[in-house]
Amino acid sequence: MSGSEIIHLNVGGTVYTTTRSTLCRYPDSMLGAMFRGDIPSRLDLNGHYFIDRDGEIFKYILNFLRSSKLSLPNDFKDYDLLLSEADFYQISPLIELVIQTQDDSSQNKSHTHYLEIIEVRIGTTATMPSKNSRVKTIMIGRKDVILSLPIQLIGEDAIERLDTTNGMDYVELELNSANIRLRLAETLKNSNWELVHSNLSSSSSVKSANGGSLCIEQTYRDRWMLNLPKIKKSWRLADTKGY
């Protein structure tokens, strides 16, 4: 049997043309054993070698046999199927490469993260200077995203409160630092976050307990978005120097 012999291979109804030497590139594989004659083979009605496996995915396996490289399209998603086929053909280097490529693809997949900052100011005048108003700031977002922010900005007490909660689901966290909404906005913007929505609402009422004075409540709501790989707790969004 010549290594340069042309082979017509029918895989699940899809016919491929290659050489015997290509199919025998990895001698310990099933294809290597099959085309050395070590295991029985079957022919279809046209005299093509027949393998009852996925014909579409085999093109990636054949390309690997030709080049020892795994070439996949950017939008490839059938890693489990490709891994199953590589395992069937017993091509160990390909199995390892598919697993590694799948892991890399999962790690590099972009995720959209959101943070919402709500600041509520309550005072007795429209301008509400700080000495004449109460300020409450709440951050809403995934726990792991909030933990990725600078500790000096969020506050160690807030981080400790988050560490005692379970899971990574959305949480509400009250922040006590002065001017925290503006400081957060500066940090997020410098860290490639995008402000996708900002809203100010206002309401007023007369408080008899305050001698009938007018009480005004203003609520600022900022929604931020960032596209990044999965955030790890140890990763920091920005240099925290100066906070």
pTM for the structure as a whole: 0.50
Are residues 118 and 83 both part of a single domain?
A: no
Are residues 61 and 120 both part of a single domain?
A: no
Q: What share of the chain has pLDDT > 90, as a percent?
A: 51
What's the pLDDT score for residue 205? Answer: 77
- Is 243 within a domain? no
User: Among the residues of the chain, which ranges form H helices?
Assistant: 20-23, 30-36, 58-67, 79-88, 92-108, 143-147, 151-154, 156-163, 180-190
What's the pLDDT score for residue 130? Answer: 52
Are residues 29 and 71 both part of a single domain?
A: yes
HSE, CB side, 13 Å, CA atoms: give it for residue 175: 26
Are residues 68 and 173 both part of a single domain?
A: no
Listed ranges 124-128, 149-153, 167-171; the one with the highest mean pLDDT = 149-153
Cβ atoms of residues 138 and 118 within 8 Å: yes
Query: If pLDDT is split at 50, 70 and 90, which confidence band does 207 have?
Result: low
- Is 236 within a domain? no
What's the pLDDT score for residue 166? Answer: 66
Last residue of a domain, one of 108, 143, 173: 108
Higher pLDDT, 50 or 231: 50
User: Which residue matches tokens 């069937």?
Assistant: 88
Q: Please check the confidence at residue 19 and state whether its pLDDT lies above 90.
A: yes
- Is 241 within a domain? no
**Mean of pLDDT values over 61-86:** 94
Are residues 42 and 119 both part of a single domain?
A: no
- Is 158 within a domain? yes
Q: Please check the confidence at residue 239 and state whether its pLDDT lies above 50.
A: no
When divided into structural domains, the chain yields a total of 2
Q: Please check the confidence at residue 24 and state whether its pLDDT lies above 60.
A: yes
- Is 210 within a domain? yes
**Mean of pLDDT values over 202-207:** 76
Are residues 103 and 136 both part of a single domain?
A: no
Q: 105-142: buried (b, 16+ CB within 10 Å) or exposed (e) per residue?
A: eeeeeeeebebebbbbbebeeeebeeeebebebebbbb
In tens, the pLDDT along 74-84 reads 889 899 999 99
Are residues 36 and 91 both part of a single domain?
A: yes
In tens, the pLDDT along 165-177 reads 766 678 888 887 7
Tokens encoding 110: 């972009």
- Calpha distance 209→213 (Å, rounded): 8
Are residues 36 and 99 both part of a single domain?
A: yes
For the ranges 24-28, 43-47, 107-111, the lowest mean pLDDT is seen at 107-111
Are residues 123 and 171 both part of a single domain?
A: yes
In tens, the pLDDT along 76-107 reads 989 999 999 999 999 999 999 999 998 887 76
What's the pLDDT score for residue 159? Answer: 80
Start-to-end CA distance of the chain, whole Å, equals 75
Local structure of 103: helix, strand or coil: helix
CATH number reported for the structural domain that contains residue 20 in this entry: 3.30.710.10
- Calpha distance 184→117 (Å, rounded): 9
In tens, the pLDDT along 222-237 reads 999 988 655 444 333 4
- Is 117 within a domain? yes
Last residue of a domain, one of 78, 108, 138: 108
Last residue of a domain, one of 74, 108, 142: 108
Structural domain including 87 reads 6-108
Q: Please check the confidence at residue 203 and state whether its pLDDT lies above 80.
A: yes
Tokens encoding 196: 């996708």
List the one residue out of 121, 112, 114, 167 whose CA is nearest residue 140: 114
Query: If pLDDT is split at 50, 70 and 90, which confidence band does 241 have?
Result: very low
Local structure of 10: helix, strand or coil: strand
Are residues 122 and 198 both part of a single domain?
A: yes
Q: What is the DSSP letter of 47?
A: S
**What are the residues whose beta carbons fall under 8 Å from the beta carbon of 12, sequence distance 6 or more?**
51, 52, 53, 54, 55, 56, 58
Local structure of 12: helix, strand or coil: coil
Q: Please check the confidence at residue 240 and state whether its pLDDT lies above 80.
A: no
Are residues 80 and 128 both part of a single domain?
A: no
**Mean of pLDDT values over 17-40:** 95
Tokens encoding 231: 């955030």
- Is 237 within a domain? no
| Mean pLDDT score across all residues of the chain | 84
Are residues 70 and 22 both part of a single domain?
A: yes
